[in-house]
Amino acid sequence: MADAVVGIIGMGDMGKMYARALAAAGWKVHASDLPDKTSGLREEFACNANITVLDNGQLVSRSSDWIMYSVEAKHIASVVAHCGPSTKLNAVVGGQTSTKAPEIAAFEAHLPPDIEIVTCHSLHGPKVNPKGQPLAIIPHRVKHPSSITLVEDILSCLESNYVRLTAEQHDRITADTQAVTHAAFLSMGAAWHANNQFPWEIPRYIGGVENVKINLMFRIYSNKWHVYAGLAILNPAAKAQIRQYAESVSALFKLMLAGDREGLRSRILTARDAVFGRRREGHEQLLLQDELLDRFSLGEKPATRVKNNHLSLLAMVDCWWKLGIVPYDHMICSTPLFRLWLGITEYVFRTSEFLDECIDTAIADNTFRADDLEFTFGARDWSERVDLGNMVWLRQHTLFLLPFAMPCHAMLIWFNLPRTATARNSKRFKSTLSRGSRRRRAWGMK
């Protein structure tokens, strides 16, 4: 259907990214958002002949051949209830929410039963070039294979790597790769804020692994708060993982305070062997190397590197071990953030001298002890807020920290970081995608 019309309900950052990309490829796009944003959107896209901003989502549903809902996960049910019954006969419907459980529930509840559902999820933010990034394609209710073909044809202009999954597989993988990653960096920002520190101004936080940690923290805080809150609260698999990360942080910190070197070492090495111990095809070389780690610094590198125990990284592998997660299995559906987070974690755990240094520092050096204390508090606080399931509290907490975590000069450095790291590891990522395709075929999926 070369003349198919694409409908986008919700013109936030991701909705606009999709609209521009699809329109540039020649697709006709019908779009809508809240009524008070309509005039502004029409002005913004006035020069784009392929994008038509309609008055409401019902008109988009009535006139489009593939309708994509690009709204916050917490609003998906009400929006689909309002617009879904107007869906055009024989149209295909999907969504771009990061958590598929509430999205699929909304579609099943409010779409006419003859409407086919082929949903999707671009596993990156709106400021990342989609070329080469994973794009989950989720055929949920399909009678005609042509419906899947239509969606894949429409999205082919993004030049992303398609990954076919079920909604349940998608939510489990995104929980494994994103929920704890977000929790770690939100807790990191909270700790630095609590200690009245700007880490890019402190020599002990400049150089190597520290560069990536700080830049990733900035990137997390640069995204919309609802992305993390929705994933944490609405993804069925996320709460347990965030809780385990907080428990891992607390358990390791207590071993550090007790001076229990053998207990700490035994636990860390057990976690290392469980996560990194098996030799894996395509994973012999480290994801990140020293020269790359040092390239993206926010300050002048000190003459002598200050040793750090890297509690946030130790706890991540401990968490993966406790949950039985092998992160390489999820590279097929990983975000740029996760690949960088895995890269620095792998660097620490697969460099024996560095890992030994972390353990020794954790026991014998109190330089980072106050920071570790606040980080432990931050991880537990985030976990408790998620367990309570209160979106308002998560919003208030994240927005309170935002001014601290957003120096504009750092963003210029960040936006080069994932691009460079991805370029360095493109062969490994493609190799993982290939293995993932074989694994999906074993699951009976295309």
Is 33:8 a contact under the CB 8 Å cutoff? Answer: no
The pLDDT, as a whole number, for residue 12 is 93
For residues 400 and 397, give the distance between their C-alpha atoms in angstroms, rounded to a whole number: 5
CATH second-level architecture of 5-164? 3-Layer(aba) Sandwich (3.40)
Can you spell out the DSSP letters for 74-105? GGHHHHHHHHGGGPPTT-EEEE--S-HHHHHH
The pLDDT, as a whole number, for residue 409 is 45
The pLDDT, as a whole number, for residue 311 is 95
The answer to pTM > 0.85 is: no
Q: Spell out the residues 6+ positions from residue 297 whose beta carbon is closer than 8 angstroms to its own.
A: 206, 207, 211, 413
Task: Give the residue extent of every domain in the chain.
Answer: 5-164, 171-442
The pLDDT, as a whole number, for residue 232 is 77
Q: Spell out the residues 6+ positions from residue 223 whose beta carbon is closer than 8 angstroms to its own.
A: 125
What residues of the chain score a pLDDT lower than 70?
1-2, 197-208, 223-228, 278-305, 393-446
Residue 338: strand, helix, or coil? helix
For residues 241 and 250, give the distance between their C-alpha atoms in angstroms, rounded to a whole number: 14
- Read off the pLDDT of residues 265-290 as tens digits, 9 standing for 90 and up: 999 999 999 998 864 444 556 665 55
Residue 130 carries which side chain, given as an amino acid letter? P
Specify the residue for token string 């009524």. 35
Mode of pairing for the β-strands spanning 134-141 and 116-122:
antiparallel
Q: How far is CA 174 from CA 191, 320, 345, 362, in A?
A: 25, 14, 18, 31
The pLDDT, as a whole number, for residue 61 is 98
The pLDDT, as a whole number, for residue 402 is 59
The pLDDT, as a whole number, for residue 278 is 62
- Read off the pLDDT of residues 161-197 as tens digits, 9 standing for 90 and up: 999 999 999 998 888 888 888 888 888 888 877 877 6
For residues 283 and 322, give the distance between their C-alpha atoms in angstroms, rounded to a whole number: 22
Q: Spell out the residues 6+ positions from residue 115 whose beta carbon is closer than 8 angstroms to its own.
A: 87, 91, 92, 93, 141
